[in-house]
């Protein structure tokens, strides 16, 4: 508040002194670490930005700062890594960069990737305080934080070994993270096994698109190893992963393949006897 006349300025200063004293006392009693924006009116964009969890992104205001302008930033769902910021970035302890001259650009490290399929909502709030005059309304930008797109064979689907000709059946589970609209690829390889119909299992490449965060890969009903000497292998290998955003995803290391080992066929020898042979 500004007063247009000198005598009122004196009054205002007294009021300001009192107000500051009151504010300091309140802050000290209630929450010594948390300050506030000036006012509460917020200009919230109806749209949101989408970023990867764990990413470091620079945010700035346009137009550039004028001399003397100060900016206050407050972030949840990530931490401001620009020097001078405090707070962990949680709702209880937002990451805050207090009013600082010319700080119209900051860097945010969004919260660590927790490998999920949903999004977490973060917020960026910023207010400008000119050298003189009124503080701006608070600009608020919501951010949807997505995990990196990954594919992994579920940890419950461990490799196993069977006898040639044993039934297999069922499926393995592939877990997907990132934003729905997943596309992943896998290959099936075998070094000479036959399936339940007796056909050789050739190398196959498949690509699956799904909106679900899990997918099933059907296993052959039966696997037969025609070799009598060496084990053969049926392998499913994840080869590529993407979600609904541009850019390549990843296959989780250590969970990229699944193997069934099939022992060699065991053939019993021809029945022989000591029967009498006629002359």
Partner 1 sequence: MNTLAQVPTEQARSTDTITYYIINPHGNNAEITWTITGGTIVGHPSPYTADGADTIQVIWNDSNKTSANYGLLKVSEIVKWPGGISCPSPEEQINVESWSRPKAKTDTSDLIICPGESFAIKIDFEGKPEYRYKWKLYDRDNPIMIIEDHTAEFITSINPSTDILIAGIENNTGTEKMYEFEITDVQDALNDSIPGDVSMAGVSIYVQPKTSAGMLKNSDYLIRR
Cβ-in-10-Å burial (0-12, 13-18, 19+) of 178 comes to buried
Note the residue count of the chain.
279
Bin 114: left if φ > 0, else alpha if -120 < ψ < 50, else beta. alpha
146 contacts partner 1 (rule: CB under 8 A): yes
Report the nearest approach of partner 1 to the CB of residue 222 (Å). Answer: 39
Please state, in angstroms and rounded to a whole number, the distance separating the CA atoms of residues 6 and 10: 7
Q: Quick one: tokens of 173? A: 């589970």
27 contacts partner 1 (rule: CB under 8 A): no
Among residues 58 and 275, whose Cβ is nearest to partner 1? 58
Cβ-in-10-Å burial (0-12, 13-18, 19+) of 145 comes to buried
Do residues 168 and 221 touch, judged by C-beta distance below 8 A?
Answer: yes
> Considering only residues 3, 20, 160, 171, which one is a binding residue for partner 1 as defined by CB under 8 A?
3
Among residues 244 and 250, whose Cβ is nearest to partner 1? 244
Which parts of 158-217 interact with partner 1 (CB under 8 A)? Answer: 179, 181
Window of 21-29, 85-93, 132-140, 154-162 that interacts with partner 1 by CB under 8 A: 132-140
Window of 21-29, 139-147, 159-167, 268-276 that interacts with partner 1 by CB under 8 A: 139-147
136 contacts partner 1 (rule: CB under 8 A): yes
5 contacts partner 1 (rule: CB under 8 A): yes
Do residues 168 and 232 touch, judged by C-beta distance below 8 A?
Answer: no
Q: Quick one: tokens of 151? A: 């594919």
Q: For residue 261, what are the CA distances in angstroms to 13, 44, 158?
A: 84, 58, 12
Site string for partner 1, 49-88 (x = CB under 8 A): xxxx--x-xxxxxxx-------x-----------------
> Considering only residues 27, 86, 137, 208, which one is a binding residue for partner 1 as defined by CB under 8 A?
137
Please state, in angstroms and rounded to a whole number, the distance separating the CA atoms of residues 179 and 148: 8
Chain residues in the site for partner 1 (CB under 8 A): 1-5, 7-8, 11, 15, 38-41, 43, 45, 49-52, 55, 57-63, 71, 104, 124, 126-128, 130, 133-139, 141, 146, 179, 181, 242, 244-247
């Amino acid at each position: 508040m500004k007063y247009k006349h000198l005598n009122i300025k004196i009054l205002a200063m007294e009021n300001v002194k009192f107000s500051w004293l009151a504010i300091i006392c309140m802050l000290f009693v209630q929450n010594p670490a948390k300050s506030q924006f000036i006012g509460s009116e917020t200009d919230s964009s109806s749209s949101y930005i989408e970023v990867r969890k764990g990413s470091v992104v620079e945010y700035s205001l346009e137009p550039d700062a004028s001399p003397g302008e100060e900016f206050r930033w407050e972030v949840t769902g990530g931490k401001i890594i620009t020097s001078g910021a405090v707070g962990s970035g949680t709702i209880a302890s937002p990451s805050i960069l207090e009013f600082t001259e010319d700080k119209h650009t900051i860097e945010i490290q969004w919260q660590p990737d927790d490998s999920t399929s949903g999004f977490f909502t973060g917020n960026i709030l910023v207010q400008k305080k000119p050298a003189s005059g009124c503080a701006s309304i608070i600009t608020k930008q919501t951010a949807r934080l997505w995990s990196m797109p990954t594919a992994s064979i579920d940890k419950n689907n461990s490799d196993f070994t069977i006898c040639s000709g044993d039934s297999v059946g069922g499926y393995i589970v592939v877990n997907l993270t990132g934003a729905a609209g997943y596309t992943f690829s896998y290959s099936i390889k075998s070094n000479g096994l036959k399936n339940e119909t007796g056909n050789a299992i050739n190398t196959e490449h498949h690509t699956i698109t799904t909106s679900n965060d899990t997918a099933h890969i059907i296993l052959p009903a039966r696997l037969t190893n025609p070799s009598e000497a060496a084990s053969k292998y049926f392998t499913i290998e994840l080869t590529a992963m993407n979600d609904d955003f541009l850019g390549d995803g990843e296959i989780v290391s250590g969970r990229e393949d699944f193997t069934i080992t099939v022992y060699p066929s065991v053939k019993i020898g021809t029945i022989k006897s000591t029967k009498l042979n006629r002359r």
